């Protein structure tokens, strides 16, 4: 058996384990889907009533941003769960088995994708109910979803590394919140960045989350009518820029996370 097929085979076994947990503890899924629904409704009706964006209904503008924020937060489950497995000694058990060294991480990050798919479906339905519309083709919309999931997938490898390095589930949660929350807010996710102070504007322009959002917004056809073309390069080339980040993150964090996995339990 080649290394790759074994890694995928073992990864599938571990992913199945993680998905069974979702089934056994439905509260988990309920809360991961409830909070995005809450976000959609809060932003749509509270902020939406105060943020006029010329050329588009705010609820349409909003959805791509909320999608991006939610899937990135979704990928933190990886960090939390790995830290928990480490604490409970389950990683020790896995490491004493003749299985692929990357399988636990492959399985965990893959399970996150499944989670994110479910969450995206629920949010999309909520969005459609409050007036969001896909104004392009099915194909382009699918492209947007795939891009969101890809970015989130790459990000879960960052979280895998963090979870294994930090080793305390609660700390992983708090730490990731402190980092990810601003990251998803200093971007074009919820408001246009035109009036940001220069430093924030520059940050937002190069923030990959802005590019994910911008690309998804474009692919869903939710850009404000008559909005000027973006001047920042990452937004002009949003899709390649995001893909570049995805590849970059994977190249750096897959080996880092696997190395950390090998060492994590060895202390």
| Greatest Cα pair distance in the chain | 60
Cα–Cα distance measured from residue 139 to residue 111, given in angstroms and rounded to the nearest whole number = 24
Cα–Cα distance measured from residue 31 to residue 27, given in angstroms and rounded to the nearest whole number = 6
Query: Any idea which residue has 């392009």 for tokens?
Result: 136
CB of 96 to another protein, least distance (A): 4
3-state secondary structure of 30: helix
What is the x/- site pattern for another protein, positions 161-200, by CB under 8 A? Answer: ----------------------------------------
Would you say 83 or 183 has its CB closer to another protein? Answer: 83
Tell me which residues in 12-51 interact with another protein (CB under 8 A). 13-14, 16-17, 20-21, 24-25
- Give yes or no for residue 93 binding another protein (CB under 8 A): yes
CB 57 within 8 A of CB 135: no
Which region, judged by CB under 8 A, interacts with another protein, from 67-75, 93-101, 117-125, 197-205?
93-101
Tell me which residues in 52-91 interact with another protein (CB under 8 A). 88-90
Q: CA 262: distance to chain centroid?
A: 25
Which region, judged by CB under 8 A, interacts with another protein, from 46-54, 97-105, 197-205, 223-231?
97-105
Q: What is the DSSP string of 163-219?
A: HHHH--HHHHHHHHHHHHHHHHHSSSSSS-STTS-HHHHHHHHH-HHHHHHHHHHHH
CB 76 within 8 A of CB 57: no
Would you say 19 or 51 has its CB closer to another protein? Answer: 19
Would you say 92 or 170 has its CB closer to another protein? Answer: 92
Tell me which residues in 99-118 interact with another protein (CB under 8 A). 99, 103
Which residues of this protein are in contact with another protein, per CB under 8 A?
Answer: 1, 6, 10, 13-14, 16-17, 20-21, 24-25, 88-90, 92-99, 103, 265-267
């Amino acid at each position: 058996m080649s290394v790759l097929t074994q890694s995928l085979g073992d990864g599938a076994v571990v992913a199945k384990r993680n998905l069974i947990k979702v089934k056994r503890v439905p509260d988990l899924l309920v809360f991961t889907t409830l909070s995005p629904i809450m976000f959609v409704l809060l932003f749509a009706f509270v902020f939406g009533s105060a943020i006029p964006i010329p050329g588009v209904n705010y609820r349409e503008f909003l959805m791509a941003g909320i999608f991006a924020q939610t899937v990135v937060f979704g990928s933190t489950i990886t960090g939390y769960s790995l830290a928990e497995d480490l604490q409970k000694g389950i990683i020790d058990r896995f490491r004493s088995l003749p299985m692929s060294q990357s399988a636990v991480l492959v399985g965990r990050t893959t399970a996150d994708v499944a989670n994110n798919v479910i969450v995206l479906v629920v949010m999309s339905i909520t969005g459609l109910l409050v007036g969001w519309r896909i104004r392009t083709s099915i194909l382009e919309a699918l492209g947007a979803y795939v891009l969101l999931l890809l970015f989130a997938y790459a990000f879960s490898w960052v979280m895998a590394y963090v979870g294994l390095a930090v080793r305390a589930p609660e700390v992983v949660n708090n730490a990731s919140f402190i980092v990810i929350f601003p990251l998803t807010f200093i971007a074009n996710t919820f408001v246009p960045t035109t009036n940001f102070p220069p430093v924030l504007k520059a940050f937002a322009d190069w923030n990959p989350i802005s590019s994910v959002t911008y690309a998804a917004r474009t692919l869903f056809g939710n850009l404000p009518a008559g909005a000027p073309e973006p001047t920042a390069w990452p937004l002009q080339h949003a899709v390649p820029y995001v893909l570049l980040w995805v590849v970059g993150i994977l190249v750096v964090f897959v080996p880092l996370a696997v190395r950390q996995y090998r060492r994590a339990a060895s202390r």
